[in-house]
Amino acid sequence: MAGFSVGEWVLLTSQKGKKWLVKIEDAPYSCHLGTIHMTDVVGREEGDIIETNTGAKLFLFRVSLEDYILNMKRQTQIIYPKDLAAMVFHADLHPGQTVLESGVGSGALTLCLLRAIGDGGRLISVEKRPEFAAQAMENVSRYFGAKHPAFHLVIGDIQDFSLRGPVDRVFLDLPEPWHAVAPVSRVIREGGLLLSLSPNVGQVQWMWRELKARGFANVSTFELLKRDWKIDELRARPFDRMVAHTGFIMVARKVRRNRPDVPPLQSSSA
């Protein structure tokens, strides 16, 4: 890959792993380890080291989607990387698919969906708060460098949403996702997957009832616990603190309508 150029973002990383996401422009950048002039980064390769004016060494890396999401502007809670990764995988997302998402919030999930479906896919994202929609649009465009061709942002309430043509996947991150199940069940194609993330188990139970009533099967519910470890010459143990809870992920599949041979819904987790 070519060296860094003006206008790009670079991830400056200290020897201790502290990270700064900085735009490459004709300006100095200072942190507690000293100052570098950002134009000195131009032409260097990923993994190179640059020295600050105090002699501290910083690695130069390109920004991963995880780094970007954790550093972007946000006015809402976002879905954390461990859950984003699992949702994209369990949805069996691939390039070219049509996806419906609500709410959009700051756009963390939106970014992952767009990366997975690519330019040839179609993402319809429904958000009822215009100020959050504007922030998400800015976060998405800043990441991709321009408006993403697959991204269609709709300001409105998912409960009033209607769409012509089926979608392959639905993603919900809403305070009351069960109210969205009826409208999305009319647009998701048979065999399509619906994923929902909720922090409270009460929400999950409401969702389960609604999914059951609206013709979804293979409903599974899980949460993921990620425990980071501290490893160095002297220590190999878990960190004292962890993010113990983020949310429950639900995955369900739409069954064919009006088929007497379709068995009644059962939870796939025993």
Q: How far is the CB of 200 from ligand SAM (least distance, A)?
A: 13
Q: Which stretch binds ligand SAM (CB under 6 A): 53-61, 170-178, 215-223, 245-253?
A: 170-178
Binder among 102, 125, 198, 246 for ligand SAM (CB under 6 A) = 102
Q: How far apart are CA 144 and CA 68, in angstroms?
A: 11
C-alpha atoms less than 13 angstroms from C-alpha of 40 in its C-beta half-sphere: 14
Per CB under 6 A, 107 contacts ligand SAM: yes
Query: Min. distance of Cβ 42 from ligand SAM in angstroms?
Result: 32
Q: Cβ closer to ligand SAM: 127 or 168?
A: 127
Region of 43-51, 91-99, 151-159, 253-261 interacting with ligand SAM (CB under 6 A)? 151-159
Does 105 interact with ligand SAM (rule: CB under 6 A)?
yes
**Integer Cα distance of 157 and 250 in angstroms:** 21
Q: How far apart are CA 140 and CA 120, in angstroms?
A: 17
Contact partners, residue 268, CB within 8 Å, separation at least 6: 218, 219, 220
Sequence-separated (6 or more) residues with CB below 8 Å from residue 114 = 121, 123, 140, 144, 148, 150, 151
- Tell me which stretch binds ligand SAM (CB under 6 A): 7-15, 96-104, 116-124, 188-196: 96-104
- Strands 98-102 and 57-61, sheet pairing: unpaired
CB-closest chain residue to ligand SAM: 103
H helices of the chain, in order, are 65-71, 81-90, 108-117, 130-144, 178-185, 201-213
How many residues of this chain interact with ligand SAM, rule: CB under 6 A? 23
Decide: is 66 part of the binding site for ligand SAM (CB under 6 A). Answer: no
Binding mask 172-201 vs ligand SAM (x if CB under 6 A, - otherwise)? Answer: -xxx--------------------------
Other CB atoms closer than 10 Å to residue 55's CB: what's the count? 8
Stretch that binds ligand SAM, among 40-48, 73-81, 220-228, 261-269 (CB under 6 A): 73-81
Give the residue, chosen from 38, 109, 211, 217, that forms a contact with ligand SAM under the rule CB under 6 A.
109
Binding status of residue 83 toward ligand SAM by CB under 6 A:
no
Confirm or reject binding of residue 79 to ligand SAM (CB under 6 A).
Answer: yes
Report the distance separating Cα 67 and Cα 58, nearest Å.
16
Residue 132 vs 151, nearer CB to ligand SAM: 132
Is 115 a binder of ligand SAM (CB under 6 A)? no
Pairing of strands 98-102, 122-127: parallel
Report in angstroms the alpha-carbon separations of 63 from 24, 36, 72, 190: 12, 18, 12, 38
Instruction: Select the residue interacting with ligand SAM from 113, 140, 158, 219 (CB under 6 A).
Output: 158
Residue 51's H or E segment, with its range, is: strand 49-51
To ligand SAM, the closest distance from the beta carbon of 172 in angstroms equals: 9
Residues near ligand SAM (CB under 6 A) are 76-79, 102-109, 126-129, 132, 157-159, 173-175
